Structures are given as C-alpha cells and as structure tokens.
Chain A
C-alpha cells in the first residue's frame, strides 16, 4: 500500500528500521533477508522504512510476529494503551496460554486499527482483504 508520507508513516518506517537493525541482539538483518522472511520484496521493505509505502495492518501484524513485539510498538503512544489491553485481558486469565496470547494480539490489533485510521490514504487499484475483515 502506498501513501503520502505522514509523520505516522515515518514513525512506523523508523520503527521497522530500528527493529531490523537491532535484530538478533544488534547483529541486524538486511532488507533483503527481512523481505524473504515476510514474503515481500526488498524494495517494499525499503519503501516502508522511508515512509514511501504505508504498510497495511496485516503487514504490521506480520512484522510484530516476526520481531516478537506488540503491534502497538509501531505507534507513538503513551503506556495507557498497554494498560487498557492488559486490563481487558485480566478477565481472560483462565484461557489456555496460547489462546490468551493470541487474544492479546487481537486486542492489540484492534487498538492499532483505531490508531492507524486516517494515517494515510489507500493506494489506488485492487483492494486487499485485510486480517479481520468479515465475509
């Protein structure tokens, strides 16, 4: 997905770059290697990092899983969002650990979606069906 560069897109791009460069305790990862792991092209990674392309929420979910971070870490925010998600999930502590982790990812994805709304305009052309979209 492309967009005009916005402060949010630039923040997201810088965050992707920081995670890539700091990967494996600072050993880092090339753009090509990250692209291969995600099934993207090196150009896409480069354009995400420079804010030329705006990654979709699906892309951010994939990046979050790859780098083992919260999807919310791609957004400038205060800690209250983390607190809100944690408070929400306290009621679900009986869940199986793997399901609780996935429910937590979903809760963060939902929060990220609200933060991402209006952060850039969608690219022209075919619309991709996003994670979470209903039938």
Chain B
C-alpha cells in the first residue's frame, strides 16, 4: 500500500467512526471521545506529570488498551491527541506502545494518525462547504476567514490544523497563513471571546 492509499484509508476510517458514533462533521468534543473510549474498552489517563514534547501515548499490553494524554495541553491539541491515539487503537493495536512527539512525526503510521484525527474532528467535505459559504475563492483564503470559520462551526480542530489543511487544499498559497498569533486575530474580530479559554491549561497538581 502506498502512503497516499494509506492516508486515504485513514480518512475513510475517520468517516466510519463518525457515522458509528453519530459525531458532528465539524466538532468532536472530549465528551464524544469519552463515549468512544468507553465503547472501545479503552482507559483514558490524563497525565499531570511534566512532559516537554510528548502529547500522548497508546499502550496495549496485558493491562489492556490505555491512552495517556498530556493534561497540560490546551483544549484543541488535547482533543486532537485523543483522535491521534484513537487511530493507534483502531489500526495499530498490535504494537504494545505508540507515542506521539516531534521525534517520530514523519513515520507513516504517525502521519496516518494525524490525518485520521484531522478528518475525524472536521471532515474535509464539511470544511470545503464552510469555506464556500464564507465566499472563499482559492487561493485567497485569509487568516480572518479561518477565524470566522472557527466562530461559525466551533470546530475543535486547531487554527494550526485549519491553516495546514487550507494550504494543502489550495485555498491559500503555501506560507501565506500565519504560524501563530491566532488569538490576536481572533480578539480583533471577536472582542468577546467566543469560546472558553484556558480550560485545558488548568492543571491540577497532586499533593
């Protein structure tokens, strides 16, 4: 199987999961994942120990399938990581340990997990429809368009994920969208915050 075929298969699988669990094509929440993990018999651990680049890990050994996720992640990356690790459970359960950080992000199984998670959180077809509704004409999509899109859909796919997809699909030229500073753009367009902030950053420390 080529890489392209593999990634297409991951997108298809994300659609199947969305149908099976009746998920919105634009927004998947922590509660949705809790329901999926319960049905799949996967234990979810929010780990509050200090992690630098590690976002999450999937274990499958004699103790049963378990997903560890870095509790300090903000909401969107936290939810994306749940999607990423779900792919490992559904596809790579033969491995006793999978983890996601910067050191292995180019491996096909890891890119496949990113593709799966992005498609699960916000389907590409729903994304195209939303851009169409906003009147975006390729390749002129701007950062402001994406802020409006996030406002309309309340999608849990991060700005970074939205920007990558926008450029990959040709709605914006490569490098034309910012790597950061989304909060500032959001504040300028929507002075009243349109989503809860900092929830994922509230980390309970033991002791």
Contact = CB atoms under 8 A, between A and B. Distances in A.
Given A110-B63, A131-B206, A132-B45, A96 B95 contact: no
B46 A134 contact: yes
A110 B99 CA distance: 16
Contacts of B46: 132-135
Interface of B: 30, 34, 37, 44-54, 57, 59, 61-63, 66, 68, 95-97, 99, 101, 103-104, 204, 206-207
Nearest to B30: A135
Given A95-B103, A99-B52, A135-B34, A129 B204 contact: yes
B206 A94 contact: no
Contacts of A59: 206
A116 to B, nearest CB: 12
Contacts, number: 81
Interface of A: 38-39, 58-59, 61-62, 84, 88-89, 91-92, 94-96, 98-99, 102-103, 105-107, 110-111, 114, 129, 131-135
Majority secondary structure, A binding face:
helix
Most buried by A among B47, B49, B96: B49
A91 B101 contact: no
Given A110-B59, A134-B34, A105 B49 contact: yes
A107 B37 CA distance: 19
B155 to A, nearest CB: 19
B120 to A, nearest CB: 18
Given A92-B97, A110-B63, A111-B63, 8 more contacts: A38-B207, A59-B206, A88-B59, A96-B53, A99-B52, A99-B53, A102-B49, A134-B45
A28 B183 CA distance: 51
A122 to B, nearest CB: 17
A131 B207 CA distance: 10
